[in-house]
A and B are shown apart, each in its own frame.
Chain A
Amino acid sequence: MQIAIIDYSIGNVQSIINAISHNRDDIKIILTSEKNKILDSDAVILPGVGAFQKAMNELKKRDLPEILSEYIKLGKPLLGICLGMQLLLDSSEEFGFAAGLGFCQGEVKKFPNTTKDKLPNVSWNNLTSNSLEWENTILEGITKEDDFYFVHSYICLPGNQDTILAHSNYGGVQFCSVMKNKNIYGCQFHPEKSSFKGLMILNNFINIAEK
């Protein structure tokens, strides 16, 4: 079992490595942007914090949009975390317009003015769902009482409602907090910084890769 964490000089990847190796010392974790290593991995995590356009530029410099596109066609799981989730969509309105990876339909927008709360959203928040079951997904075993750590000013608006695995609510605005499009997952919060339940989500992701 090998997990690749995409290395494109964006964000705190050490926490993700620590969180995975904490539960599973039998997994080989590599930090890489190399095509062969990524395609050979059983699971891939795309981390990210900060600005959308800057992150896309860093991905492009390393040919990662093409490499990741090839990877997901193999049917193996990909998890985008925080900005890494937002990058999976078609585009973002951050600083005007920026094209994303386009692995999931939809766009990234700033929290609307109707939010009654401060921005950025820096808080622990729970997940809800209207209809979808969480069994056999990365949210297996998670309840609507559990909280996760969010830090963001922008939100994902998936084009296909069926890809919204969970919602969260901030200041009266409901937004997509977990996304699933076949083998592609995204979490707006940081599972690696969300205590025991966050570690459970990472563990579920590994279990999916092992199936």
Chain B
Amino acid sequence: MHKFRLIGRIDINNENVVKGKCLEGLRKIGNPEKFAYQYYVDGIDELIFIDAVASLYDRNSLVNILRETCTKVFIPITIGGGIRNLTDVQEALNAGADKVAINSQGLRDINFIKEAVSNYGSQAIVGSVVARRHRYSWEAFMDNAKHRSGINAIKWAEMLEEAGVGEIMVTSIDNDGLMKGFDEELVWNITSAVKIPVIASGGAGKSDHISTLRRKTNCDAAAISSLLHYNHLGIEEIKDYLLNTDIEIRKCK
């Protein structure tokens, strides 16, 4: 079994790190470059920057944050939120991103995903699934969880794999920011449906949530934010816990 990855997810709005609950009620909590550098030094395996409102207006500031971060942070960085065309992808990669996460524009036009994969390779494209639970299923949402797509979230993951993305990131709207654990059932349904690596996001509130997630779903990575942003736990502390529960992960030092 390959090593599990612990990813720091940093949602950004107006040059600030923001965090809400269920992707709503975003609060400003800090400077993204500082957060990114600290997590890097502390031993995080990867970073994901998400443009939390995905407005065209903010695009330049996010690219600047990314460009600055890449001069001192030497781990893989993914950028997502409001990626609408190949120019956006190119701009993100030029600024130093290794991967670009795409959701809404792919739901509008799956050919955009195929084009992005064909131009930049599957290793550069992460398919993003933002899911809300209905009674017996999950629906893929778009535009920062504001609009329904009418497409089943598991189906959307399969479509993304078919279109050639290198990884899937699945965010549970219901569990985001609540710190009560991941939607393991959702993640398990997706890891069962696709063969490519899956990153789970939304709900981590203690180390045991991450450990349980890995055991129950066999996913490849966990993206965490509140846990780190609010200094609940250090990265080394989380990794030590995972190692103690027999989950292989890169050691911090």
Interface residues, chain A, CB within 8 Å of chain B? 12, 14-15, 18-19, 22, 49-51, 116-125, 145, 147, 149, 151-152, 170-171, 190, 192-196, 198-199
Which of B57-65, B72-80, B133-141, B225-233 is the contact stretch?
B72-80
Interface class of chain A by DSSP = mixed
Q: A122 to B166, Cβ gap below 8 A?
A: yes
With a cutoff of 8 Å between Cβ atoms, the chain B residues found around residue A198 in the complex are 74
**A-contacting residues, B162-193, CB 8 Å:** 166-167
Which of B1-9, B152-160, B202-210 is the contact stretch?
B1-9
Q: A50 to B120, Cβ gap below 8 A?
A: yes
Closest to A116 in B: B1
With a cutoff of 8 Å between Cβ atoms, the chain B residues found around residue A195 in the complex are 40, 43, 74-75
| Given A120-B197, A123-B5, A149-B95 contact (CB < 8 Å) | no
With a cutoff of 8 Å between Cβ atoms, the chain B residues found around residue A152 in the complex are 123
Q: In the docked arrangement, what's the CA distance between A182 and B72, Å?
A: 32
Known A-B contacts: A18-B71, A19-B74, A170-B2. Give 13 more (CB < 8 A).
A12-B97, A14-B70, A117-B2, A118-B220, A119-B195, A120-B197, A122-B5, A122-B220, A124-B250, A145-B251, A151-B76, A152-B123, A190-B76
Determine whether B33 belongs to the interface, using a CB cutoff of 8 Å to chain A: no
Q: A14 to B124, Cβ gap below 8 A?
A: no
Q: A50 to B123, Cβ gap below 8 A?
A: yes
Q: In the docked arrangement, what's the CA distance between A145 and B251, Å?
A: 9
Q: In the docked arrangement, what's the CA distance between A15 and B98, Å?
A: 9
Q: A192 to B74, Cβ gap below 8 A?
A: yes
Q: In this complex, which of B1, B43, B75, B97 has the most chain A Cβ atoms within 10 angstroms of its Cβ? A: B75
List the 8 closest pairs (A to B, CB-CB), nearest first: A50-B121, A147-B250, A123-B2, A124-B250, A151-B123, A14-B96, A122-B197, A18-B71
Determine whether B94 belongs to the interface, using a CB cutoff of 8 Å to chain A: yes
How many Cβ-Cβ contacts under 8 Å join chain A to chain B?
A: 90
Q: B123 to A49, Cβ gap below 8 A?
A: yes
Interface residues, chain B, CB within 8 Å of chain A? 1-3, 5, 40, 43, 45, 70-72, 74-76, 93-98, 120-124, 166-167, 195-197, 220, 249-251
26 contacts between A and B (CB under 8 A): A14-B95, A15-B96, A18-B71, A18-B74, A49-B123, A50-B123, A116-B1, A118-B196, A120-B122, A120-B197, A121-B2, A122-B5, A123-B3, A124-B5, A124-B45, A124-B250, A125-B3, A147-B3, A152-B123, A171-B1, A171-B2, A192-B74, A193-B74, A195-B43, A195-B75, A199-B74
Q: B74 to A120, Cβ gap below 8 A?
A: no
Q: B75 to A193, Cβ gap below 8 A?
A: yes
Q: A12 to B98, Cβ gap below 8 A?
A: yes
Closest to B191 in A: A118
With a cutoff of 8 Å between Cβ atoms, the chain A residues found around residue B2 in the complex are 117, 121, 123, 125, 170-171
With a cutoff of 8 Å between Cβ atoms, the chain B residues found around residue A117 in the complex are 1-2
In whole Å, how far is A50's beta carbon from the nearest beta carbon of chain B? 4
Closest to A199 in B: B74
Q: A12 to B196, Cβ gap below 8 A?
A: no
| Given A12-B98, A125-B3, A151-B166, A18-B70 contact (CB < 8 Å) | yes
Closest to B197 in A: A122
**Quick one: which of B3, B40, B120, B121 contacts A124, CB cutoff 8 A?**
B3
In whole Å, how far is B216's beta carbon from the nearest beta carbon of chain A? 17
Q: In the docked arrangement, what's the CA distance between A198 and B40, Å?
A: 13
| Given A51-B121, A125-B2, A195-B40, A22-B71 contact (CB < 8 Å) | yes
Q: In the docked arrangement, what's the CA distance between A171 and B250, Å?
A: 16
Q: A22 to B72, Cβ gap below 8 A?
A: yes
Closest to B198 in A: A118
Closest to B72 in A: A22
With a cutoff of 8 Å between Cβ atoms, the chain B residues found around residue A125 in the complex are 2-3
